[in-house]
Structure 1
Amino acid sequence: MDITITLTDGVPIYRQIVNQVKYLVASGLLQPGEELPPIRTLALQLKVTPNTIVKAYDELESSGVVHMRRGSGTFVSEGRPKLALLERRRIIEQRIDALLAEAHQLNFSADDILRMVRERKAAMDPGTTAEPADVEK
């Protein structure tokens, strides 16, 4: 499990862990039933206190992402499909928000952006053609 902590972004460390585990589950990189690293192991790996990992795992368990088996470890819950859809949607919505904010700063309209997205999508799909997006202002 690859988790990266950023000390400069203002997001609490436990929250970064929660968000990244949710992403790993939503993307299918962590499968239902798969075991997460033990608390002490992950704490050493991330160079944080075990209490930080406990807080993250507790939040993940209360939201249904993982379940803990006392003495056995922490495992990805079987209810992944619903979580995956919600989490995938949240991730994409965040990226859309950032794109729209940047597009606004660069004086692109929503229609311009939609045309460019369709063009890029067509370029990625073999056998599909699309008209070039005319977005010059």
Structure 2
Amino acid sequence: MSDIKAVNIHIAPGDTRPIFKQIVDGIRMEIACGNLPVGCKLPSVRGLAMQLTINANTVAKAYNELTSQGLLEARQGLGLFVSQPRQQLNLAEQQKRLDNAVQTLVNQVAYLDFEPQQILDKVSSALGKLATSSKNETGNHE
């Protein structure tokens, strides 16, 4: 049986996103960065709720959302595991979400005192972390 992997996410009380959404986003990023690899067992609803000192119903809602997105899979009697990635969105929906995300980023940084290149460098660096973890997962294993 696989060991339970610690989920390294933090809840920010001042964040405008609901707590369950912060959990969804945090776990999605942990998966994308390779910190929670495919087949990895996640803490129980109660376990993560205790770790984050939040209501178990909030964690259950986040886990349900991640399961419906295809990122987690429930195994009867065993718990929740990171599932094999599969693209569930068509190309048009992927493009729409990318456009929305870019527009949100632009709106958030429009009035900050940064040059466009500084912003692009930050985005490139963040995406580079994702690309690095993806290469490590598909790279040669000795």
Residues 1:36 and 2:42 aligned together:
yes
Residues 1:12 and 2:21 aligned together:
no
1:96 and 1:7, CA in 2 relative to 1: closer, same or farther beyond 3 A? closer
Distance 1:55 1:41 in 2: 14
Residue 106 of structure 1, CA deviation: 4.1
1:48 and 1:98, CA in 2 relative to 1: closer, same or farther beyond 3 A? same
Distance 1:106 1:52 in 2: 36
Partner of 1:24: 30
Partner of 1:135: none
User: Residue 8 of structure 2 is aligned with which of 2, 13, 25?
Assistant: 2
Partner of 1:101: 110
Q: Aligned Cα RMSD in Å?
A: 3.2
Distance 1:79 1:3 in 2: 20
Partner of 1:63: 69
Give the greater-gyration-radius structure (CA). Answer: 1
Q: Which segments of 5 or more consecutive residues in structure 2 lack a partner in the other structure?
A: 1-6, 89-93, 126-142
Residue 54 of structure 1, CA deviation: 0.6
Distance 2:114 2:21 in 1: 34
1:41 and 1:24, CA in 2 relative to 1: closer, same or farther beyond 3 A? same
1:69-124 CA-partner distances (Å, limit 9, x unpaired): 132111001116x59xx7xx96x94896368524xx5485x5xx28x95xxx9xxx
Higher relative contact order by CA 8 Å / sep ≥ 6: 1 or 2?
2
Q: How many residues align structurally?
A: 106
1:70 and 1:99, CA in 2 relative to 1: closer, same or farther beyond 3 A? same
1:75 and 1:107, CA in 2 relative to 1: closer, same or farther beyond 3 A? closer
1:39-62 CA-partner distances (Å, limit 9, x unpaired): 111011111111111100000000
Distance 1:38 1:77 in 2: 16
* Letter matched to residue 58 of structure 1: N
TM-score for the superposition, normalised by structure 1? 0.63
- Secondary structure in structure 1 of the residue aligned to 2:110: helix
Identical columns (%): 36
* Letter matched to residue 49 of structure 1: N
